[in-house]
Structure 1
Amino acid sequence: MYPDKHTKLVDDSIKQRDLFKSDQEPFIGASRPGFVYMDSMGFGMGSSCLQITMQTKNIEEARYLYDSLAPLSPIMLSSTAAAPIFKGHLVNQDVRWNVVSGAVDDRTFIERGVEEYPGYNKFGGLDVDEHTLVKDCSKTNANGDIIGVFANDGKPIQHVPKSRYDSVANYLADSKHDTSYYSDKFNDLNAPINKSVYDRLIQEPNFDHYMANHFAHLFIRDPLVIFSERIDQDNTLENDHFENIQSTNWQTLRFKPPALYESNVDISTTPGWRVEFRPMEIQLTDFENAAYSTFISLLSKAIIKFKPNFYIPLSKVEENMGTAHKVDSAINDKFWFKDLDNWNLDYHEFRGYDLSWFDRYINIGNDELGGEEVYMNGYSVSGSTISLANGELNGAIPNGTVNGNTTNGKRRKSSNGMIITDDAEDLTYAKYSIDQIINGDVSGKFPGLIRLVIKLIATDLIPKSCHCPSTSLANDLTRIKYYLTLISKRAKGEIPTTAHWLRNKVLNHHQYKRDSKVTDFINYDIISDAIKVGDLSDRDVVESLFGEVITDYLFE
């Protein structure tokens, strides 16, 4: 619960009843003081979210994109924060993630490593003798099996650190891609696996250790639902048995293989290797949802094109997921991220690809600022000219030679453009604000994610011309500019996240009693204002969420 002057530590919405055995759970330990008690899957899966799926050209590219997006998951969760109210209570967090995670958590007490409620079985529905003694649930082997504890059929019982709905537990490794940034030190969560599944997959020629490990981790859980008419299948043409597991592991990312088809189907017209990005919160308006959807789609293309190195230990990503839940974490907190000097990008190549690029491309005359030559695809730089054709620095050191020494063709660039060989593997990471990660820094030394997207647009997605050749393209680019402006301004704290906006509606409401309660009357007024934002029917209300610049665009 959000702590306020008159907040009660007990969720008084819990009613005593005796219809089911589970009715007693909140009174014997399930409900914690100071927390909202939500005893139904609907409280989690009733939340809305924004999920975007990107298709890549092959499995190697999909693995690299999956791994690159993993560290971005908590960043975008925080940036899109929109859930500060649950079950009529103002809560002390801004996002939905842990609510859904808890609502579909089907682990038994022993799998979670916690004490069971009075009168309950430690093993839940597992086929284990209830008198089995467990000395220490934390002692596990390399597969996650609790040492010395087995079901009656001999299968091991595992310690399972996460719910079905949680952040990713493994990188897929990019060693088969041409980046090869991955190191085993980054996969540091020691996620449990189904050893029998791993042993079977590792025998297949298309599965290396990392892919086998990824899928073997999914299979530590049972299917939630099995339809009787789908038990017997032709596994050469149907993969429902796999999807039954895959689709009920709800992680921040989902690695989606192609489906199976008959031999006469042209698979070039069917979905291929895809990566689904799942952490973002749903927004109040179509404009916002389109903005974040477009951003992730274009950012994925930019990642594939420019090949940045975003690898950090997954334990740090996990820590970031906790940080993302905090109130106003988007502007108040810092997140672990790849050191901005080690993205394997030369910041010179991204100078000029800020939000002003749109005006310079769309409007004739805006490409000259203060008498200095300013190009469509980047600025001129003293000592070197950025090529109009592709925005790359002329005279860049050719692949294969560094200071006269032969290399293996793989190189890294620091932010100052210096070429670094791969002799010493870089594992650096540090804490940064979301503003730094998304917008870069004011000097342009660190490009930030938005510059990657804008350079992609400028060099890959529009006609190569001095200025915008058509009104329709100008309108499309203008809309994308304001999409990115929304994301940029929220990262800077210049406009609020939806969660901040909603929380302030409660805190400043004349009927709020500083008790963390959102009454029917307060709720009605919030929904009324949300409708005004969606309908663009009240400029003052719209501007309170979007600020003046974006509101002017929306009201044009």
Structure 2
Amino acid sequence: MGLLSQGSPLSWEETKRHADHVRRHGILQFLHIYHAVKDRHKDVLKWGDEVEYMLVSFDHENKKVRLVLSGEEVLETLQEKGERTNPNHPTLWRPEYGSYMIEGTPGQPYGGTMSEFNTVEDNMRKRRKEATSLLGENQALCTITSFPRLGCPGFTLPEFKPNPVEGGASKSLFFPDEAINKHPRFSTLTRNIRHRRGEKVVINVPIFKDKNTSSPFIEMFPEDEEAAKASKPDHIYMDAMGFGMGNCCLQVTFQACSISEARSLYDQLATICPIVMALSAASPFYRGYVSDIDCRWGVISASVDDRTREERGLEPLKNNNYRISKSRYDSIDSYLSECGEKYNDIDLTIDKEIYEQLLQEGIDRLLAQHVAHLFIRDPLTLFEEKIHLDDANESDHFENIQSTNWQTMRFKPPPPNSDIGWRVEFRPMEVQLTDFENSAYVVFVVLLTRVILSYKLDFLIPLSKVDENMKVAQKRDAVLRGMFYFRKDICKGGNTVVDGYGKAQNSTEVAVEEYTLMSIDTIINGKEGVFPGLIPILNSYLENMEVDVDTRCSILNYLKLIKKRASGELMTVARWMREFIANHPDYKQDSVITDEMNYSLILKCNQIANELCECPELLGPAFRKVKYSGSKTDSSN
């Protein structure tokens, strides 16, 4: 989760006094990096995934499942047995926001050969097995995006009660501070977001109106005036960073061969973000209720929204410099490549002094405005020992701002004095239940980058349309019901690709309109006369590549999953979870998820993840079995 500095964290008031210092020196650090590596070319293709996990404990006797607050201890042991003992250990482990969470990545980045695609799932299995081996009896490692009863009484083990009085980090009515990772960055972020905003964060998620759901659905908070004002009818109310950052996701980072290639990939993939987010939808439940959304994005965006009332346009500007249209956690606001410039149709708020400084230092206009936009934000955490740095050799002040702009895509300059190249990070995906699914989504996105570069594909549309797609992607059953703006002619300069019907399609033959509304099935699988489909294009690419039989078989299995999720033949995780709860014998069609229903759901998720049972609705009939169980919970209970 970004920069993890060690030291003595400063309060918000102290951090605020140093905000201009951090911005000023952050820009100097960026300039040192840029000038040192701007002409760097021929970096080899490398990439890697990040999977976030939750630790859960099953109480089979009482039919409860809780989040285990032992992430720090498990992480310490994993690091001690792994990278600290062997620098070439196949897995790496890092902390995450929740004290019930850990993050795993491959020990070394994957390279540019096609055979690397055949190692992704095996590495994910190693991670699951490695972490599971450290858990207690009836505990399990789960890849679920949102824990359905997060914030409900007794959702943690050990149990802690929230502390909404002054002095706590979040002051939440529902989320205890003990569920926050003990690293000072996380509690400081939580406290400083609230202090900067001037009030608690406000998250309102629409309730799913079932047959017996009260209408209007209204929660009462008579002892908390702030909550009473902030909560909305027919919405599930949440009030803490943990409700967003306490969810899990799946991310992929790519190293490009040059800065120009990184900028191009950043732009092209930004248009794909809402499509893949809808395809990976896996979070329909919040605070013990069935919601009317399928993705976490809006929840996590609101959970870290530190904008003041002035910055949100609710009061005249007096103490702040800007109106800011989005949370720090949202979709991108500008393309970076020259091809994307004409599609930058969103009003971009920038720090004009920083922008002029960057131009004077030789930074081009598109990159300068990108950085100047990031730097309208204040630093949210600052450590006393990290105030004064060597700008030529350190980048903490730059990363302080950069890493707390959590956007769908992140453009990542190399660290100073390293052999790492220019990178982009793809951030919108929801984590899936199984290593097979997570591998499928990772391979799909990575393979798509290869095809974008090889065929010089162009997915660019006006950025305002990408924002509209992001809103649609989060809605219930967006994969089947949503319509998304997408480019019709994706072939630059008349390049020929093969469409889903085996016919050559030339860009000059496509209708004059650049983009139109399409279903995800059309975007992924193609529709004659409308769009060739991403999967047929990927298959065409594979046919022209030398790939060993095993790797080709694995890739085709992954693409088959994506294809069938897009067509509706297979359910998304979100749809499958909804069906599971709807069919639970205890469900009263009132949008409420009880402890026992939650227990049944997470137990089933764990069995599916460890391939102890089949789930053809989610995975298809040909899902493979493996020998290890990967879980210490007794599934027979």
Normalising by the residue count of structure 1, what TM-score does the alignment of the two structures yield? Answer: 0.72
Q: Tell me the SS of whatever aligns to 1:113.
A: coil
Q: CA deviation at 1:445?
A: 7.3
CA distance in structure 2 between the partners assigned to 1:110 and 1:44 by the alignment: 23
CA distance in structure 1 between the partners assigned to 2:222 and 2:436 by the alignment: 44
CA contact (8 A) 2:499 2:526 kept: no
Q: CA deviation at 1:513?
A: 1.1
Q: Match of 2:261? A: 61
Q: Tell me the SS of whatever aligns to 1:512.
A: coil
CA contact (8 A) 2:490 2:507 kept: no
- Structure 1 residue runs without a partner (length 5+): 18-22, 115-121, 123-133, 135-148, 176-180, 262-266, 355-378, 382-392, 394-414, 463-472
Highest CA radius of gyration, 1 or 2? 1
For each residue in 1:305-363, what CA deviation from the matched residue of structure 2 results, as whole angstroms up to 9, or x when unmatched? 11111111111111111101111010111100112x454386964258x9xxxxxxxxx
Q: 1:524 aligns with which of 588, 593, 599?
A: 599
Does residue 310 of the first structure (1) align with residue 310 of the second (2)?
no
Q: CA deviation at 1:544?
A: 2.7
Q: CA deviation at 1:24?
A: 2.5
Q: Match of 2:328? A: 164
For each residue in 1:244-298, what CA deviation from the matched residue of structure 2 results, as whole angstroms up to 9, or x when unmatched? 000000000000011111xxxxx5xx22111100001000011111111111111
Q: CA deviation at 1:111?
A: 0.9
Q: Match of 1:44? A: 244
CA distance in structure 1 between the partners assigned to 2:530 and 2:572 by the alignment: 27
Q: CA deviation at 1:526?
A: 0.6
CA contact (8 A) 2:335 2:341 kept: no
Does residue 350 of the first structure (1) align with residue 350 of the second (2)?
no
Q: Tell me the SS of whatever aligns to 2:236.
A: coil
Q: Match of 2:59? A: none
Matched positions, count: 420
CA distance in structure 1 between the partners assigned to 2:414 and 2:341 by the alignment: 27
Does residue 25 of the first structure (1) align with residue 226 of the second (2)?
yes
Q: Match of 2:522? A: 436
1:71-470 matches, within 5 Å, as: 71-114=271-314, 134=316, 149-151=317-319, 157-173=321-337, 175=338, 181-184=339-342, 186-205=343-362, 207-261=363-417, 270-339=419-488, 341-344=489-492, 349-350=497-498, 415-416=505-506, 418=508, 428-441=514-527, 443=528, 446-460=531-545, 462=547
CA distance in structure 1 between the partners assigned to 2:269 and 2:496 by the alignment: 24
Q: Tell me the SS of whatever aligns to 2:457.
A: coil
Amino acid at match of 1:511: D
Which stretch of structure 1 is more off in the superposition, 210-219 or 530-539?
A: 530-539
Q: CA deviation at 1:450?
A: 1.7
- Structure 2 residue runs without a partner (length 5+): 1-206, 628-637
Q: Match of 1:491? A: 566
For each residue in 1:163-218, what CA deviation from the matched residue of structure 2 results, as whole angstroms up to 9, or x when unmatched? 01000011112x3xxxxx3342x11110211111111111111x111101101110
CA contact (8 A) 2:270 2:408 kept: yes
CA distance in structure 2 between the partners assigned to 1:166 and 1:182 by the alignment: 19
Q: CA deviation at 1:493?
A: 0.5
Q: CA deviation at 1:10?
A: 4.3
CA contact (8 A) 1:83 1:499 kept: yes
Amino acid at match of 1:446: F
Q: Tell me the SS of whatever aligns to 1:280.
A: strand
CA contact (8 A) 1:351 1:444 kept: no
Q: CA deviation at 1:444?
A: 8.5
Q: Tell me the SS of whatever aligns to 1:277.
A: strand
Amino acid at match of 1:282: V
CA distance in structure 1 between the partners assigned to 2:512 and 2:434 by the alignment: 41
Amino acid at match of 1:98: G
CA distance in structure 2 between the partners assigned to 1:208 and 1:240 by the alignment: 23
Q: Tell me the SS of whatever aligns to 1:254.
A: strand
1:540-551 matches, within 5 Å, as: 542-548=615-621, 550-551=622-623
Amino acid at match of 2:518: Y
CA contact (8 A) 2:497 2:537 kept: no
RMSD of Structure 2 on Structure 1 (CA): 2.4
Q: CA deviation at 1:6?
A: 2.3
CA contact (8 A) 1:172 1:214 kept: yes
**Structure 2 CA distance for partners of 1:299 and 1:444, relative to 1, 3 Å:** farther
Q: Match of 1:407? A: none
Instruction: State the identity as a percent.
Output: 44
For each residue in 1:425-448, what CA deviation from the matched residue of structure 2 results, as whole angstroms up to 9, or x when unmatched? 97621000111111112x487332
Q: Match of 1:385? A: none
Q: Tell me the SS of whatever aligns to 2:238.
A: coil
For each residue in 1:400-447, what CA deviation from the matched residue of structure 2 results, as whole angstroms up to 9, or x when unmatched? xxxxxxxxxxxxxxx346489xxxx97621000111111112x48733
**Structure 2 CA distance for partners of 1:109 and 1:484, relative to 1, 3 Å:** same
Amino acid at match of 1:485: K
Q: Tell me the SS of whatever aligns to 2:311.
A: helix
CA contact (8 A) 1:57 1:273 kept: yes
